[in-house]
Structure formats: C-alpha cells, structure tokens
Amino acid sequence: MFRRRSNSHHDEENNEQQSESKVVELKTALGPLSGRSSKYCTDACLKRNLEARSWNVEKSKKMLEETLSWRSTFKPEEIRWHEVAVEGETGKVYRANFHDRYGRTVLILRPGKQNTTSIDNQMRHLVYLIENAILNLPEGQEQMAWLIDFTGWSFSTNVPVKSARDTINILQNHYPERLAVAFLYSPPRIFEAFWKVVKYFLDPKTFQKVKFVYTKNKDSVELMRSYFDVDNLPTEFGGKARLEYDHEEFSRLMAQDDVKAADLWGLDNKHPHGTTNGYSGAEVVPEPEFVASAAS
C-alpha cells in the first residue's frame, strides 16, 4: 500500500516536472514578449494552451500566437459594459450570482432571449462576459461553467449557425481550457437538427464537456446536483432559487467590475461622458461551500 502511494506521489512529481519543462520550452519558443502580450502569457496561460494541444509545444505556440494576434485586434480587455449593454437588456447572457460546487464562475445563456441582429456586437458582448467570468474566478480556479436555458428557443429566435461557429471558435481557440462544462438544459426536439450541424465545429475535448440535461431524466437530475447546490440553482435549471434578471442591477455590478478590469490591465477605465452611469456596487449572494477538487 505504502509503496503504491509512494509511486503515485513520484508519478505526480514527474508529471509536474514534465509540465514545467514544457512551459519553459513554450516560453522559449515564443521569444521575448512585451506589453499586454507579456501580461497575458502567464505560466498558467501557457499550461492551458499546452493542455488544449496535448502538450505539443509547436501546436501550442501556433495557438498562442493566433490568440495574441486576435487579442491585439479584438482588444477584449478594453471592452466596457456601456459599449455592449444593449445586448444584455433581455438577459440573454450574464454572469450568475453564484458559483458551482467547484468554485467556478457560472455564465447563464438564454438564446431564446435574443434581441439583436448584429453578430459582431453579439460576439463582443459574449467576449466581454467571458473576460468578466475569468475576472471573477476564485483564487486557484481557472474554469467556468455554462448553463444554457432553451426556454423560448425557436428557429425564429435561435442563434444562427455562423454565430454558433464564431462562439465555438473563440472559446476553443482563444480561451482554451476555460470551459469546464456546458449544460444544455431541456433543448426542444427541433434543436436536434441545429446540433447536428454545430457539433462538427467542436473539437473532441470541448465536445466531451457538453452535457444534455432533461428534467424527467433521473441521471440528468443527479448530474446537475453533483455540480450545483439546488438552493442556489435557479428553478429554470431544476433548482429552488428564483431567478429574475435585473438589467439595471447587473449593469451596476458590471460598471464596478470594469474598474477592476482596468486596474488589472493597467488601463484607464472607459465610461461614457467620464461617469460610471451613476451605478454603485451590487452585493452578491453568499457562495455555497466548494468541494476540494474539480470534476473533469
């Protein structure tokens, strides 16, 4: 017994040493970085890219360089809430005021609440909220969970295939290993045709993180309870909490987070007319207790 434990501990040390060696190798391959690129490419960031590319340094380098190029153009760290707030008026995507049992930030997506037609603006809104989710991760946690509510979803309000493809591309290629799990809660039967097309854009690792959940399926109910405290989980997802999206209140919270994000990146916070829209901070409900380790 003790020998097996010792070997296990030895294997963990070897794996850690190998991963650190790969990080150094990738860092060397990237060469000198400056400015925001240097700030972005932390050791944790390099590890996530290596993990996403099965620890292949050359593929990880290519992925990171493409992300740095994308970030230099898209400038996600510069997006401020007042620039995308119109996209959030219906609560189609927002950060929940609770974490899952593993300390992950939770994004709630309600595609049936789509309220605009510009895919570019929709992507800016989503990227803003991904960045915000990362900003609000507890120390030691690097991933987020997505809860997707299909209430009101139809072909007239659904997400276009191009928008779904762009979302998947951004998430997989520019935020590797940031998504822990995505729950598709009670999608309607007509969603099947849409899914048959969209799933081909998913790489195998991301595909494994997508979970279909159905209210009358016992395994689905147990799966949700393994990830979430039902007292915090909204009734729309099988929990007991009442969920009412308050756009003004959420805007107050985002204005507060914009200041935090600007400080993190060393930027001047950008608000319309030099104000914070009159918003003050918003309180968040108490967190559930977290279990010790993250689920795969």
Please state whether 290 falls in left (phi above 0), alpha (psi between -120 and 50) or beta. Answer: beta
The answer to whether the beta carbons of residues 41 and 64 sit under 8 Å apart is: yes
Q: Which CATH architecture has domain 84-274?
A: 3-Layer(aba) Sandwich (3.40)
The DSSP code sequence of 188-246 is -TTHHHHHHHHGGGS-HHHHHHEEEE-TT-HHHHHHHHHHS-TTTSBGGGTSSB-----
Query: What is the pLDDT tens value at each position of the chain, 296 positions in all?
Result: 434 444 666 666 777 888 899 999 999 999 999 999 999 999 999 999 999 999 999 999 999 999 999 999 999 999 999 999 999 999 999 999 999 999 999 999 999 899 999 999 999 999 999 999 999 999 999 999 999 998 888 766 666 788 889 999 999 999 999 999 999 999 988 888 889 999 999 999 999 999 999 988 999 989 999 999 999 999 999 999 998 899 999 999 999 999 999 999 998 765 443 333 333 333 333 433 334 333 33
Would you kindly state where each structural domain of the chain is located, as residue ranges? 2-74, 84-274
Cα(114)–Cα(182) distance, integer angstroms: 19
Residue 8: predicted pLDDT: 65
Among 171, 145, 153, CA closest to 232: 145
Amino acid at 102: Y
Cα(127)–Cα(90) distance, integer angstroms: 17
- Tokens describing residue 183: 């729950």
Cα(12)–Cα(51) distance, integer angstroms: 16
Residue 19: predicted pLDDT: 87
Q: Spelled out in words, what is the top-level CATH class assigned to the domain 2-74?
A: mainly alpha
